[in-house]
């Protein structure tokens, strides 16, 4: 039973690690991080985000689709524009830690 427990623990660890990997890969990109940081202060439309982040609309749209597919953001159309907002508490938690680490005034 010891061996079986160990391999069960190992499989659980692998499963958790794979989930964490999928999650972290969404964040591990400077442009997507900037998008998410901009969304922390409230919803924004694509054009506004593109300007803030400095990306072509097409490139940004692909990032947004990815983040939405991963469940980190949601979108809502109102008139011509489509507004995106953060919807993941987990992402917000990690963003907060990253901000402490990388966005200090005096590193």
Q: Which option in a second copy, DNA, none does residue 58 bind, with CB closer than 5 to 8 A by kind? A: DNA
Rounded Cα distance, 27 and 30, in Å? 8
- Minimum separation from the CB atom of position 58 to DNA (A): 3
Max intra-chain CA distance, the chain: 61
Q: Which option in DNA, a second copy, none does residue 5 bind, with CB closer than 5 to 8 A by kind? A: none
- Rg for the chain, CA atoms, rounded: 17
Rounded Cα distance, 63 and 10, in Å? 33
Under the rule (CB under 7 A), what is the footprint of DNA?
Answer: 25, 28-29, 31, 45-47, 55-66, 75, 77, 79-82
Among the listed ranges 7-15, 40-48, 60-68, 79-87, the one in contact with a second copy (CB under 8 A) is 7-15
């Amino acid at each position: 039973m010891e061996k079986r427990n160990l391999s069960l623990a190992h499989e659980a660890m692998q499963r958790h690690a794979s989930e964490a990997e999928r999650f972290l890969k969404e964040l591990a990109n400077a442009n997507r991080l900037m998008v998410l940081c901009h969304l922390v202060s409230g919803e924004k439309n694509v054009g506004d985000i593109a300007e803030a982040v400095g990306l072509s609309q097409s490139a940004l749209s692909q990032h947004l689709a990815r983040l939405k597919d991963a469940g980190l953001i949601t979108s809502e159309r109102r008139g011509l524009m489509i507004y995106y907002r953060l919807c993941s508490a987990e992402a917000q938690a990690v963003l907060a830690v990253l901000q402490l680490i990388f966005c200090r005034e005096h590193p």
